[in-house]
């Protein structure tokens, strides 16, 4: 049996999870929450992570019922993400690996989401829609790489939702996107907003600019349902196009925005019309967590990969398609 502990802290969540041969043994997490109207700064986020990371580590071991000697490998998020939080977590993971005498593995955050989604849903070879605060990509596996078929050309869909929430002072607890989703459920009127799909890529920044300059902010209750319907329609369109290109009959949604039930509903309608199947998870595994890093680390470690100490830096801009996927045929 192989047991891997994973450290995740690329944004405002700090999580540590333990995986044993496909079984999630523990997955505690903390979230840095700022006041309404404010985002999270890298330095403040890193300070939050430093304050709680050892407590979360203790919780992860206790919940799993394991001791350091039971761990086979220490995995951490190498990137992409915010610099200061990434460094904080990487330093702790490196220290733990040396203290425990365990091999170390730097994991791509995006691939952590994908491998966790594949584990939990048992999707075989899906077209992946990866949507979060920092990333928006449509991905498919081919020849030892996760190939990016389409992506945002400016800001991520989660960033779009978060920035809208800040403008209208929506609470950040538990997250801006979740609160927008709840507000959208109460709305029934749709306001047409810019719809920007360029080939396989999407653009979200113009939607925010349009809302701000058009005077629509004077009716903030109209915006959550309209914003959701517009940006999610764009995502469904490029996902369907990627499916057609790949001949795929599976879609897997991963990343924090993937928890949104309206996005899952819209994607499900498209899949049903194509005779395809939709796979998605809930907030335990969609939102950034340590178990997803442990699972990707488990796959990498079992295929013979290890990160040498001198190579255990972070990479803020670490693309999904830069990683050689040695654990899949």
Closest by CA position to 26, among listed 35, 36, 17: 17
Residue 21 annotated as lining a ligand binding site: no
Residue 6 annotated as lining a ligand binding site: no
CA distance 247 to 213: 42
Closest by CA position to 10, among listed 67, 92, 103, 76: 76
Residue 132 annotated as lining a ligand binding site: yes
CA distance 318 to 287: 19
CA distance 109 to 78: 7
Q: Return the beta strands (E) in the chain as ranges.
A: 3-8, 13-20, 23-26, 29-31, 73-79, 104-108, 127-131, 136-142, 145-151, 197-198, 201-202, 250-254, 277-279
Residue 130 annotated as lining a ligand binding site: yes
Alpha-carbon torsion angle 153, 154, 155, 156, nearest 10: 0
- Grouping H, G, I as helix, E, B as strand and the rest as coil, residue 70 is helix
Overall residue count recorded for the chain in this entry: 329
CA distance 114 to 258: 12
| 3-state DSSP percent of the chain in helix, strand and coil, to 5 | 50, 20, 30
For residue 107 the two structure tokens come to 């994991």
Residue 325 annotated as lining a ligand binding site: no
Radius of gyration of the chain (CA): 19
Residue 134 annotated as lining a ligand binding site: yes
Residue 179 annotated as lining a ligand binding site: no
CA distance 7 to 247: 35
Residue 131 annotated as lining a ligand binding site: yes
Residue 290 annotated as lining a ligand binding site: no
Maximum Cα–Cα distance for the chain, whole Å?
60
Closest by CA position to 129, among listed 49, 283, 241, 4: 241
Residue 109 annotated as lining a ligand binding site: yes
The binding site for a divalent metal cation comprises 109, 113, 130, 288
Q: Point out the annotated binding site for substrate.
A: 130-134, 162, 177, 181, 260
Binding residue ranges: 109, 113, 130-134, 162, 177, 181, 260, 288
């Amino acid at each position: 049996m192989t047991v891997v502990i994973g450290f995740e802290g690329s944004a405002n969540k700090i999580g540590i999870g333990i995986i044993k041969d496909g079984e999630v043994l523990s997955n505690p997490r903390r979230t840095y929450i700022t006041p309404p109207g404010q985002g999270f700064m890298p330095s403040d986020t890193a300070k939050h992570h430093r304050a709680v990371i050892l407590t979360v580590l203790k919780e992860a071991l206790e919940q799993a019922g394991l001791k350091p000697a039971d761990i086979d490998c220490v995995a951490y998020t190498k990137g992409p993400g915010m610099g200061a939080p990434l460094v904080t977590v990487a330093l702790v993971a490196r220290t733990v690996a040396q203290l425990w005498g365990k091999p170390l593995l730097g994991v791509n955050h995006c691939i952590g989401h994908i491998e966790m989604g594949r584990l939990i849903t048992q999707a075989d070879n899906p077209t992946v829609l990866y949507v979060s605060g920092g990333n928006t990509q449509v991905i498919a596996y081919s020849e030892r790489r996760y190939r990016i078929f389409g992506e945002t050309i400016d800001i991520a869909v989660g960033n779009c939702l978060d920035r809208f929430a800040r403008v209208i002072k929506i609470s950040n607890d538990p997250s801006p996107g979740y609160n927008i989703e709840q507000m959208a459920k109460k709305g029934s009127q749709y306001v047409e907003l810019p719809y920007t799909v360029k080939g396989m890529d999407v653009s979200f920044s113009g939607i925010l600019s349009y809302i701000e300059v058009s005077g629509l902010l004077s009716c903030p209750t109209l915006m959550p349902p309209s914003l959701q319907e517009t940006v999610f329609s764009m995502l469904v369109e490029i996902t369907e196009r990627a499916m057609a290109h790949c001949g795929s009959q599976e879609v897997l949604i991963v990343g924090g925005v993937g928890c949104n039930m309206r996005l899952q509903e819209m994607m499900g309608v498209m899949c049903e019309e194509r005779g395809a199947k939709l796979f998605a998870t809930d907030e335990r595994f969609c939102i950034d967590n340590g178990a997803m890093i442990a699972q990707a680390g488990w796959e990498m470690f079992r295929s013979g990969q290890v990160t040498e100490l001198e190579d255990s830096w972070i990479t803020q801009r670490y693309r999904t398609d830069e990683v050689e996927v040695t654990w899949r045929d």
